[in-house]
C-alpha cells in the first residue's frame, strides 16, 4: 500500500502544518490512470458490484488494468488520442471506472456527465467541449444520439442497444489488445472536464489536471480519519459524474489500492443502503445531508457498522443531525466544503479538533482559506466572500474555452468561491449565503440559468426566473416565476406542462416544484432579472 501523505496527530496545528503547497513541489511527470492501477497487487479487489438482486461480483486491479488498456487501444483505433475529450454518460460501475482510468492512461480527457441530464444539457456540454466520442449506457443512448445528431461523434454503447454507426463497448474491448504503454503526461496536463452550473449563461467547464490527486488525498486523509487502513472499504451513493463521487470516493480508493463498492440499484433507498453498508463492511463513505435525513426519518435501527468516518457536505448538518449520526453509525461525521473548481477547502476531523456544529470546519491540510471584504482583504468576524489560495493542486486549470469566466474566478492569489461567509477567531468558516444564487438541492448545485433557458424554449413563456426556496429534505428546490406570452392563460395544467417540459430537457432535480405566474419580473435598469427581489417578496 502506498505511504499516506499525512501522519496521525492530535491537534489542528499539527495537522495543518504537514502540507504547504506554496513550498512543496510536485513531480513534473505524473499520470492519474497509472497511479490508480500500476502500483497495486493485481489480484487485490478493486471493485465490488452489487446487483439489483443483492448478489455481487468482484473485480481486481488486474481486471481493471486489462480493461483500461484494451479501451485505450480501442479508442486509439478510432482516432481518439492524447488531449482529445471523451464524454462519459453511465452510472457508477466497473465500466465507468475503467473508462476514466483508460482515458487518463492514454492522455485523453474525460468528460463526466450525469445520467440525469436530458438532451439539451448533454448537447451543450458535448458541443462546447468538442468531444470526439461518447461512452454511454444503453439507457442513456437515446438522449446522447439526439444531443450529437449530425456532429459525427462516435458512440461506444455499454449494453445491447447498439445502432448502425455505433460500437459495442464490450466488443470493442474484446477485440483490442491488453498491452498498452501509458502515455507520459505532466502533472499539469488536463485529465478531466466537469461542467458546473452558474446563475447566468451556460454551465462552465472546470478543466482539471492530473495533479489534482495530490491536493485531494491529504484533504481526505484528514476527513477520513487518517485513512488508508488495510481493511478500508469505500462506498457512497454519490454519482461519479460529479466531482464528489469521482474525487471523494473513486480516486481516493484506487490511489491507495482500496476496494470501492458500487450499487447497480438506482435511487437512494435507506433500507438497501443500510444493508449494503453492513453486508460489505464499508468503513468510509460520503453521505449528503439529504441521505442522512432520509435514513433518520426511515426509523430503521442503527448499529452493526464497520465505519471509522462518515463524510458529508453540501450544507451544514447542525448539532442534532451530527449527534444522531454519531450514535447511529458509531463514527463521527466529518463535514467538508469545496466546489468543482477547488474541491477541498474546509472540513473537520472530530478526533483531532473540536467540531462547531453549523460551521464548514477549518481549512484542510494544504488549503489557505480566508473571507475577503469588498476590497479583497481578509477579514475575521465579518461577512465576506469565502476564498482559498490558488497555489494548490486542487485548483482547476481554467474554465474551458472561457477566459473571461476564468479571470473572474480569481482575485490575485485567491480563488473566489462565490459564497458569502464569516470566519470566526478560531478559524472556523460559517456559510451565510450564495453570492451567485446557485441552488443547492439534494447535494446538486443547480444553475437557474439552464432552467430559465429551458422554460424559455416553451412557446407559452416570455420570461422566466428561477430561485431556490427552502425544503426540509433537499435543502433547497427550484421555484420558477414565469411571464406568459399573449394568448396563454396561467393555469395548473400549464404549470404541469412546463414542469414536464423541463423534466424531458434537463434533469429531474432541476424541475421547478412550484411555478408562479407574474405579469412581469423585477429587473435592474440594465434589464437584468433581480432574483434577490423574488426571494425577498
Give the residue carrying C-alpha cell 458535448. 126
Q: Is residue 526 very low, low, confident or very high in pLDDT (cuts 50, 70, 90)?
A: very low
Residue 200, pLDDT score:
58
Question: Which has more pLDDT, 249 or 320?
Answer: 249
pLDDT tens-digit series, residues 254-307: 999 999 999 999 889 999 999 999 999 999 999 988 889 889 989 999 999 999
As annotated, the residues of the chain forming the CATH 3.40.50.980 domain(s) are 31-38+59-210
Is domain 31-38+59-210 classified as CATH 3.30.590.20?
no
Mean pLDDT computed over every residue of the chain: 94
Q: 355-385: b or e for each residue (b if 16 or more CB lie within 10 Å)?
A: bbeebbbbbbbbbbbbbbeeeeeeeeeeebb
Residue 208, pLDDT score:
98
CATH topology of domain 439-536: GMP Synthetase; Chain A, domain 3 (3.30.300)
Distant-in-sequence, close-in-space partners of 292: CB < 8 Å, separation ≥ 6: 312, 317, 321, 325, 333
As annotated, the residues of the chain forming the CATH 3.30.300.30 domain(s) are 439-536
227, 220 in Cβ contact below 8 A? yes
168, 162 in Cβ contact below 8 A? yes
Q: What DSSP string runs through 110-146?
A: EEE--TT--HHHHHHHHHHHT-SEEEEETTTHHHHHH
492, 466 in Cβ contact below 8 A? no
Rounded to 5°, the CA angle 351-352-358 comes to 80
**Which whole number is the average pLDDT over 146-152?**
93
Give the residue carrying C-alpha cell 469566466. 405
Q: Which residues does residue 109 pair with via DSSP β-bridges, in sequence order? A: 85
For residue 523, pLDDT over 90 is answered with: no
Q: Is residue 131 very low, low, confident or very high in pLDDT (cuts 50, 70, 90)?
A: very high
Which residue from 505, 503, 495 is spatially nearest to 460, judged by alpha carbons? 495
pLDDT tens-digit series, residues 176-224: 999 999 999 999 999 999 998 755 568 999 999 999 999 999 999 999 9
pLDDT tens-digit series, residues 158-168: 999 999 999 99
**pTM of structure:** 0.86
Which residue from 493, 420, 400, 45 is spatially nearest to 193, judged by alpha carbons? 400
Q: Is residue 449 very low, low, confident or very high in pLDDT (cuts 50, 70, 90)?
A: confident
pLDDT tens-digit series, residues 389-401: 999 999 999 999 9
pLDDT tens-digit series, residues 401-448: 999 999 999 999 999 999 889 999 999 999 887 776 778 887 787 878
Which residue from 150, 95, 89, 162 is spatially nearest to 125, judged by alpha carbons? 89
CB atoms within 10 A of CB 420: 17
Give the residue carrying C-alpha cell 504503454. 181
For residue 315, pLDDT over 80 is answered with: no
190, 86 in Cβ contact below 8 A? no
Q: What percent of the chain has pLDDT over 90?
A: 82
Residue 435, pLDDT score:
76
Give the residue carrying C-alpha cell 483531532. 352
For residue 232, pLDDT over 50 is answered with: yes
Q: What interhelical angle do 61-77 and 94-105 show, nearest 10? A: 60
Q: Is residue 9 very low, low, confident or very high in pLDDT (cuts 50, 70, 90)?
A: very high
User: What is the spatial order of strands in the sheet that 514-517 belongs to?
Assistant: 461-471, 475-484, 514-517
Amino acid at each position: 500500500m502506498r505511504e499516506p501523505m499525512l501522519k496521525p496527530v492530535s491537534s489542528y496545528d499539527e495537522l495543518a502544518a504537514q502540507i504547504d503547497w506554496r513550498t512543496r513541489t510536485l513531480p513534473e511527470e505524473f499520470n492519474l490512470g497509472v497511479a490508480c492501477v500500476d502500483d497495486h497487487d493485481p489480484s487485490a479487489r478493486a471493485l465490488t458490484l452489487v446487483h439489483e438482486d443483492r448478489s455481487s461480483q468482484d473485480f481486481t486491479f488486474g481486471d481493471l488494468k486489462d480493461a483500461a488498456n484494451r479501451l485505450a487501444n480501442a479508442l486509439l483505433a478510432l482516432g481518439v488520442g492524447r488531449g482529445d475529450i471523451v464524454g462519459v454518460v453511465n452510472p457508477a460501475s466497473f465500466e465507468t471506472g475503467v473508462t476514466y482510468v483508460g482515458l487518463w492512461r492514454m492522455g485523453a480527457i474525460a468528460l463526466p456527465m450525469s445520467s440525469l441530464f436530458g438532451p439539451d444539457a448533454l448537447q451543450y456540454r458535448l458541443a462546447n467541449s468538442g468531444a470526439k466520442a461518447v461512452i454511454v449506457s444503453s439507457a442513456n443512448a437515446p438522449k446522447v444520439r439526439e444531443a450529437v445528431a449530425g456532429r459525427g461523434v462516435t458512440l461506444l454503447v455499454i449494453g445491447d442497444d447498439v445502432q448502425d454507426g455505433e460500437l459495442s463497448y464490450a466488443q470493442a474491448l474484446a477485440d483490442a489488445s491488453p498491452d498498452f504503454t501509458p502515455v507520459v503526461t505532466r502533472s499539469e496536463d488536463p485529465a478531466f472536464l466537469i461542467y458546473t452550473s452558474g446563475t447566468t449563461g451556460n454551465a462552465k467547464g472546470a478543466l482539471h489536471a492530473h495533479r489534482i490527486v495530490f491536493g485531494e488525498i491529504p484533504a481526505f486523509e484528514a476527513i477520513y480519519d487518517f485513512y488508508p487502513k488495510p481493511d478500508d472499504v469505500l462506498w457512497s451513493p454519490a454519482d461519479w459524474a460529479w466531482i464528489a463521487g469521482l474525487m471523494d470516493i473513486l480516486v481516493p480508493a484506487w490511489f491507495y489500492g482500496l476496494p470501492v463498492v458500487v450499487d447497480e440499484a438506482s435511487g437512494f433507498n435507506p433500507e438497501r443502503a443500510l444493508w449494503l453498508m453492513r453486508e460489505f463492511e464499508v468503513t468510509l463513505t460520503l453521505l449528503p445531508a439529504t441521505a442522512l435525513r432520509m435514513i433518520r426519518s426511515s426509523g430503521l435501527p442503527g448499529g452493526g457498522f464497520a465505519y471509522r468516518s462518515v463524510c458529508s457536505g453540501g450544507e451544514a448538518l447542525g448539532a442534532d443531525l451530527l449527534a444522531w449520526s454519531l450514535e447511529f453509525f458509531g463514527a463521527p461525521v466529518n463535514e467538508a466544503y469545496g466546489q468543482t473548481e477547488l474541491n477541498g477547502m474546509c472540513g473537520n476531523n472530530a478526533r483531532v479538533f473540536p467540531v462547531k456544529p453549523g460551521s464548514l470546519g477549518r481549512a484542510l491540510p494544504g488549503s489557505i482559506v480566508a473571507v475577503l471584504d469588498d476590497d479583497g482583504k481578509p477579514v475575521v468576524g465579518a461577512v465576506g466572500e469565502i476564498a482559498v489560495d490558488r497555489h494548490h493542486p486542487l485548483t482547476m486549470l481554467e474554465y474551458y474555452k472561457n477566459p473571461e469566466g476564468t479571470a473572474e474566478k480569481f482575485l490575485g492569489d485567491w480563488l473566489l468561491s462565490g459564497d458569502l461567509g464569516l470566519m470566526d477567531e478560531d478559524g472556523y468558516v460559517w456559510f451565510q449565503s450564495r453570492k451567485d444564487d446557485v441552488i443547492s438541492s439534494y447535494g446538486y448545485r443547480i444553475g437557474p440559468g439552464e432552467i430559465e433557458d429551458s422554460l424559455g424554449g416553451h412557446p407559452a413563456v416570455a420570461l422566466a426566473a428561477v430561485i431556490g426556496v427552502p425544503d426540509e429534505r433537499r435543502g433547497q428546490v427550484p421555484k420558477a416565476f414565469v411571464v406568459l406570452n399573449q394568448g396563454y392563460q396561467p393555469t395548473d395544467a400549464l404549470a404541469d406542462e412546463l414542469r414536464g417540459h423541463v423534466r424531458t430537457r434537463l434533469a429531474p432535480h432541476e424541475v421547478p416544484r412550484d411555478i408562479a405566474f407574474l405579469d412581469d419580473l423585477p429587473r435592474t435598469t440594465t434589464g437584468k432579472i433581480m432574483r434577490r427581489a423574488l426571494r425577498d417578496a
